[in-house]
Amino acid sequence: MVTEKTNLTGIIGYPLEKTLSPVMQNAAFKALGFDWVYVPMPVMPQNLETAIKGLQSLGFKGLNVTMPHKEKVLPYLDEISSFAKMAEAVNTIHFDGLKIIGYNTDGRGFLHALESDVHFKPEGKRAVILGAGGAARSIALILALNEAASITIINRTLSKAESLVASLKGRFAETKFEALSFDGNLPKIIDSTDLIVNSTSVGWEEELVIDPDWLHGGHLVADLVYIPQETKLLREAKSRGCKTLPGKLMLLYQGAASFEIWTKAQAPLDEMRKALNLSTE
Ligand code: ATR
């Protein structure tokens, strides 16, 4: 039952397709018996500022922010966490008293998935990131903050990979950065890497962004695409002996971190996994 006392949270984006956050967050509130609700709210870009101020006036406790608002929302916030500042993107808003505070839990969510589900520590490892958008930036930052040895950004539009690398280069003593296009000498680069992350939007429709014959058993392959749960890239990787990390795990842990920011309670991970149809072993 939703009443005048119910605590309100939700997600804003446009269009709001394929979001699994409502089912995951509402399952978490229910599991802990919390009188909280999470609502999907499509917000057109021209309405972003009024939506944020309006949701604050309506007493919302928190929001998730998704495409295309993650970068655009920054000017409407009173405070921004240091990681969100570096990422230049916010995926979580906390309406904290009179203040609107922005966080970015994407990097943290990815690191949590790496460490707890496949026991991978970035320190000293070589990573290839496919794509150079907002998601690639968060992944590159969290890997560099955790002392990855090298990060190669491969993107269809080379200039975007180059500008991402230019903004990161020299800021992390332990990490070398490189930008390439898909025409570069990819088999060699990929052969010698430890981690491959697909952050492009290729994979929702059973397409592949790289030739799977370049993969071998020494690779960990992560895909941020989470529908289907096992993308063609992950299926092909698994069949070549790679460890794999499905995008739903990053969704899970970034959502758990948002939940904890809003409620100050520990997120019920098992219930959230079940809501996402992820195994709970
Ligand atoms: P996100 O915030 O999820 O990172 P984004 O900023 O829109 O989303 O980035 C999408 C990424 O997918 C980009 O790196 C994009 O490549 P371009 O910079 O060349 O556009 C990549 N991408 C999208 N469609 C692609 C395709 N068909 N082949 C290769 N890369 C693609």
Residues in the chain: 281
Cα of 135 vs centre of ligand 1, distance in Å, is 10
Q: Among residues 141, 89, 86, 142, which one has the least CA distance to residue 113?
A: 142
Pocket-testing residue among 88, 164, 201, 223, ligand 1, by greatest number of atoms within 8 A of Cβ: 201
pLDDT, tens digit, for every residue of 196-246?
999 999 988 889 999 999 999 999 999 999 999 999 999 999 999 999 999
Pocket of ligand 1 (CB under 6 A): 131-136, 155-157, 160, 199-202, 209
Cα of 247 vs centre of ligand 1, distance in Å, is 16
Distance CA 281, CA 266 (A): 19
**Residue 247 CA: distances (Å) to CA of 43, 50, 253:** 24, 32, 10
Tell me 192's DSSP state.
T
> Nearest C-alpha to atom 18 of ligand 1 is from which residue?
157
> Nearest C-alpha to atom 6 of ligand 1 is from which residue?
133
pLDDT at 184: 80
pLDDT at 54: 98
Helices 106-117, 134-145: axis angle to 10 degrees equals 60
Render the burial of 22-36: b for 16+ CB within 10 Å, e for the rest.
bebbbbbbebeebeb
Q: Hey, is 95 helix, strand or coil?
A: strand
Distance CA 68, CA 137 (A): 15
Give the ligand 1 atom nearest the CA of 89: 2
Q: How confident is the model at residue 68 (pLDDT cuts 50, 70, 90)?
A: very high
State the amino acid at position 18 in one-letter form: K
Distance CA 82, CA 145 (A): 12
Record the pTM: 0.95
| Catalytic residue list contains 248 | no
On the 0-12 / 13-18 / 19+ scale of CB atoms within 10 A, 194 is middle
Q: Hey, is 82 helix, strand or coil?
A: helix
* Structure tokens, 207: 């397409």
Q: Is the pLDDT of residue 281 over 70?
A: no
pLDDT, tens digit, for every residue of 82-94?
999 999 999 999 9
